[in-house]
Amino acid sequence: MKEINFFYLLTRIILGIILLFISCKNNINKTMSIEKPVDHKLLSAQLSKHIKKLASDIGERNPGLYKNLEKARFYIEEQLKNENLLHYNQGYSVNNHQFYNLVYEKKGESEKLPLIIIGAHYDSAPGTPGADDNATGVSALIEIAKKFSNITSTKHTIRFVFFTLEEPPFFKTEDMGSIRYSNFIKSKKEKVRFMLCLEMLGFFSEKTIQEYPLNLMRLYYPDKANFIGIVGSYGYSSITKRFYRIFQKENPLKSEVLIAPQFLTGVDFSDHASFWKNDYPAFMITDTAFYRNKNYHEVTDTPDTINYETLAIVTNSIFKTIAKMDQNEK
């Protein structure tokens, strides 16, 4: 009897939290103005080049194919070597191999302001070339870093971090790249305004294939897989919703936001959760991964499944949102 009451109560709590957030989300949506789409052909071509290099020319990249993982690292470094950014690698050893988080930095005007961190993992799961997961996030981060490199100055120091070892078998272990990095900056007592994780950004469809962790969510969220999602924890809802408000103004595409408990399936399925472990505000932007893309962790996660025009719009919108948030120190 106690077990039944516990799960009943737990379900009521989860649904209550989500319904409360949906009410807030609807109020946010009423105040948004959406700009007209712009031409993103050049950016789309650059993103396509990166993804085809990572997911086709290099292919599967993880400890089982260590040389490919290194090729991916070298490619990222080559793309950013001439940019006006500070660069260092955080290296560490696992099973007699050396792995690297790649850190690029745009130094801010004020050292007193907390860091803004944007991150994406560059490894792929075993058995997949990882186009959407996560060559899309890596390609977007490369281009966002380039855009900030060309800005004369920023108020905050902005870091662009390419994480290694996000995928199994290191996912959620102490050797996961983002956990290593989060622990490192915590040891240095660095303050973080927020961390934004770029996780699978390129799969979109007008078909009614969108799924959710709870069936109830279908009543409030789209059934078409044609939106970009922003996912945060209930503990860091304020900064997540602030990003969402600004992102909607900068983004001509459909977007949705979910603030949910960390134990809801999928909410903590990427590098942002590594920052929660050290009490840093963090959230994820995603196409919702396996809730729509059936190529997830499959050999079919290939560059030809990516919508490059939409990815370009998302990439540019992320850049514009971060740039605006940088100008507001709060």
Altogether, the residues listed in the chain come to a count of 330
Look at residue 130 and tell me whether its pLDDT is greater than 60: yes
Mean local confidence (pLDDT), 298-304: 98
- Name the residue type at position 70: E
pLDDT given for residue 28 in this prediction: 44
Look at 36-40, 138-142, 166-170, 179-183 and tell me which has the smallest mean pLDDT: 36-40
Look at 23-27, 122-126, 288-292 and tell me which has the smallest mean pLDDT: 23-27
DSSP string, 205-255: -SSS----SSGGGGGTS-SSS-EEEEEEEGGGHHHHHHHHHHHHHH--SEE
Work out the pLDDT band at 330, boundaries 50, 70, 90.
low
Which of 63-94 are b and which e, b meaning 16 or more Cβ less than 10 Å from the residue's Cβ? Answer: bebeebbbbbbebbeebbeebebeeeebebeb
Residue with tokens 């927020």: 194
Residue with tokens 């900030």: 148
Q: Which CATH number fits domain 31-327: 3.40.50.300, 3.40.630.10, 3.30.565.10, 1.10.3720.10?
A: 3.40.630.10
Domain boundaries, the chain: 31-327
Mean local confidence (pLDDT), 246-263: 95
Instruction: Name the β-bridge partners of 121.
Output: 163
Q: At what angle do helices 41-52 and 308-327 cross, to 10 degrees?
A: 110
Reported as a single tens digit per residue, the pLDDT across 96-113 is: 999 999 999 999 999 999
CA 78 to mean position of chain CA atoms: 22
For residues 251 and 329, the model is more confident at 251
Separation between Cα atoms, residue 26 and residue 55, nearest integer Å? 38
CA atoms within a 13 Å half-sphere pointing along the CA-CB vector of 325: 28
Helix (H) or strand (E) holding 47: helix 41-52
**CA distances for 87 relative to 19, 122, 298, angstroms:** 43, 17, 33
